[in-house]
Structure 1
Amino acid sequence: MANTEGTADQGEQIMNKPFQPASIYASNDDPTVRVMIAPTKYIQGPGVLSSVGPLVNQLGFSKAGVLASRRGHGAEGATVAQAIESAGVAIVKAVFGGESSLTEIEARVADLAAQEVGVLLAVGGGKCVDAGKCIAERLGVPVVIIPTLASNDAPCSALSVIYTEDGVMSGAEFFPNNPIAVVVDTQVIAAADERYLVAGIGDAMATWYEAKVCAQNPAARTVLGTRPTLTGAAIGELCARTLYADGVEACESVREGKVSQALENVVEANTLLSGIGFESGGLAGAHGFAQGYTVLPEVEENFLHGEMVAMGVLAQLMMEEQPEEARRVGEFFTQVGLPVHLGQFGMSAARTDEIEAVVQGAMSFGPFANLPFDVDEGKVRHGMLSASELGEAIAAEHGEAAFQRIR
């Protein structure tokens, strides 16, 4: 956790030690304890940014901080600020510098600490969302998340990914509470690049396949340190069903810049269902492989989190010896434009140094232990390479038009 020394008043408000959920939820070491967490409110639909003002007013806040990038303050952030001021709530603007690093977080805390805001609204993409949660926690105020992309399941969760100033993932921070509200304007999502929605589909699809193995393994634990809930698994399954049913049409809607029922369903799956599902259902191999891919700069710098997770879903299923289900997933991924083989990442099975780097990076991911069998380097390597072989076959049969279209 960052050094948060400041004035005496700030010291009372700002967190100065890390929160570990297992210390609360699993403190008695009872292996049967199960926990579900979720945001207090979730609001989604076309034009709902206009509801932010009345929402903040109804929640009882008279002064709000608005965190957004410079571009964001001139776009969605401006809409949010106008809605809040129209509701009679004062605002303080904070400019997000672009990286969810401890340096950036501390700087924005310093900007806002003396302003006595009652709530922080984070308006933007994944890193702005992550930083916003950290800033709000240090200020001792609740956070409202207003994502401008549906590219991952971060908005609803009680954790943030932390990066170095150079953009390399360095860890995660957990918080005692989920966001007090998440507001998703689907008109904003429909106007964004299709690739972000597609990446969100990859991240969300993992929710079911990881929750399923966590439910099957009595030793599996969620990020909260507890057993997964039936609710988390059920939400994960609904998430996958929604993606299979509506994913292709939702992508078409974004290409046309219009809101459709399919897009509404997929945005909810990417954001709410996946967000609740991964926290209360559990993580496993898919996100382990995604972490492994981040050790290669050429992959980390050119591909989104959900694209790496998609490759991880296929590899996890091959580790589980479920090639038919992996084929089903891979064919769907090919339809929406997600990667299915190493060549699409600019990698090759022949470059063993890269393969071994990914294997070692993946093996360092703790939730790999949630798989219902012993995991070793050989199994991880086999899962990764056999998934790529399957993906090459699928791409040869169905083509790579969607993948190439959204590059």
Structure 2
Amino acid sequence: YVYRDFTESRSLYMSIIEKYDPRTVFGKTDASDVEPPRILIAPNRYVQGQGVLDNLGRYLRVVPSRNPAILISARGKNELGPRLVKSLGQEGIEPTFVIFNGECSALEIERIVTLLKSKVAIDSLVAVGGGKCVDAGKSVAHRLSIPSIICPSLASNDAPCSALSVLYTPEGVSEGAEFFPWSPAFVIIDTAIVAEAPVRYLVSGMGDAMATWYEADTCFRNPKARTTVGARPTLAARSIGELCAKTLFEYGVSSVQSVTNSVCDESLESVVEANTLLSGLGFESGGLAGAHAVAQSYTVIPHIQTNYLHGEMVAMGLLAQLALENRESECEKVATFFAQVGLPVNLSQVGLKGNVEDSLDEIVEAALNSSIIGNEPMELNHSVLLDACLSAHKIGLEIAKQQGQEAFAALH
């Protein structure tokens, strides 16, 4: 193939749109009654299957890239580095490795950018790892005006496919999101690697993915709701969200057994696709609502931020959203599924015991300050949201009593 150098045109483009806010591009810019457009956002390519990471060198032809940087943790480099070097070496590519230190913070992103700016002609950023690593990779690629290639080592959240990154303080408290004009050039998820990862990560991804359907449905039904780019949800995103939930209900429990046995089968492949692709497309073009507003607010509690994964917080947030929307039977259905796969369903399971209202007050205040809580169709105040969280907690306590806590205890 013939390699073409797009560095100059990319740099020109990025100089025009360096500070990117998609709402000024796709959202309403006047006071008219006309709705904003419907927008669908997706990565250029999505590749999933056993052993696909070994084809990374071939996939870089399509980007195109000849001088990639690979962002990866020290442990990840020890485990996957030789495979990456071999795959790229078959295409005559010698990568530059950069170690990710663990937090997707502005400080860490700028450290990596400064380091890579000293390298010659880096033309793509390959991020290999979990959600924070791939989000940091997208932020770094944006600052360097180069494409991102996302290689998740876990199916623990829907970050890989999106054109945004969630940023945190160096201590791990959520600070908001950063948006990008480009989606990833590639998302490459090797299910053989996912099958070897701890089960808890796959289960966490189910919590994040299950919320996709309910948040997209809420946004679709509320004419005032907006997606993350200021647009209206598409029919496609709503349908993808519905398929995501259906897939989880069908394959979620059996996929836990698949990973327990380190087996790649239809259950695992289906849930990995739901957690990664379906959830990624569904949330970005379908919209977020109460589930993520509450989930992101759990990070203000140090014990929860330190000991629980994003998808576990989203699971709790989703139950609160369903209670808020007075969908008690649906809340019970979802909580039952969560209990079966090992997700938390009540506040005691995330370490909040005794008088939980004191901790909830702080969480509720943070959630009310989130812009996405406005996608819920009702008027909200502190007492309304607090009551919803407490109602979800009571439902979760009853479900845990009915289903038992063996699945949760096995992961915690």
TM-score, structure 1 length as denominator? 0.95
* Distance in 2 separating the partners of 1:210 and 1:241: 15
Q: Which runs of 5+ in 1 are unaligned?
A: 1-9
2:148 alignment partner, one of 143, 161, 167? 143
- Which of 50, 56, 61 is residue 57 of structure 1 equivalent to? 61
Structure 1 residue 17, shift from structure 2 partner: 4.6
Q: What displacement does 1:351 show?
A: 3.5
- The residue that corresponds to 2:294 in the other structure is 289
Whether 2:274 is the aligned partner of 1:273: answer: no
Contact 2:346 2:396 in 1 (8 A): yes
Shift of 1:356: 0.7
Asked whether the 8 Å contact 2:169–2:175 carries over to 1, the reply is yes
Deviation digits for residues 245-277 of structure 1, max 9, x if unmatched? 000011110011111111000000000000010
Counterpart amino acid of residue 217 in structure 2: K
Amino acid at match of 1:363: L
- Is 2:23 aligned against 1:22? yes
Helix, strand or coil at the partner of 2:60: helix
- 1:184–1:121 Cα change, 3 Å: same
| Structure 1 position 239, deviation (Å) | 0.2
Mapped contact 1:336–1:402 kept (Cα < 8 A): yes
Residue number in structure 2 paired with 1:249? 254
Quickly say closer, same or farther: Cα 1:103–1:205, change in 2 above 3 A. same
User: Is 1:313 the equivalent of 2:314?
Assistant: no
Deviations 1:8-63 (A, max 9, x none): xx999789953100111125444241101000000000110111110102333221
Deviates further, 271-280 or 356-365: 356-365
Aligned to 2:411: 406
How far is 1:355 from its partner? Answer: 1.6
Residues 82/303 of structure 1: CA separation in 2 closer, same or farther (3 Å cut): same
Alignment-derived partner of residue 7 in structure 1: none
Asked if residue 229 in structure 1 is aligned to residue 230 in structure 2, the reply is: no
Identity %: 46
Q: Give the number of aligned pairs.
A: 399
CA shift, 1:365, in A, is 1.4
Give the CA deviation at 1:166: 2.0
Segments of structure 2 that go 5 or more residues without pairing to the other structure are 1-10
Q: What CA RMSD, in Å, does the superposition of the two structures yield over aligned residues?
A: 1.8
What does 1:248-397 align with in structure 2 at a 5 Å threshold? 248-348=253-353, 350-397=355-402
In structure 2, relative to structure 1, the CA distance for the partners of 1:115 and 1:301 (3 Å cut) is same
Write the letter of the residue equivalent to 1:106.
E
Contact 1:310-1:340 within 8 A present in 2 as well: yes
Deviations 1:295-335 (A, max 9, x none): 11111111111001101111111111111111100110010
Match of 1:41 in 2: 45
Tell me, yes or no, if structure 1 residue 181 matches structure 2 residue 186: yes
Contact 1:14 1:138 (8 Å CA) reproduced: no
Query: 1:3 matched to which residue of 2?
Result: none
Q: Secondary structure of the residue that 1:123 maps to in structure 2?
A: strand
Label 1:15 to 1:333 Cα distance change in 2 as closer, same or farther (>3 A).
Answer: farther
Determine whether 1:91 maps to 2:101.
no
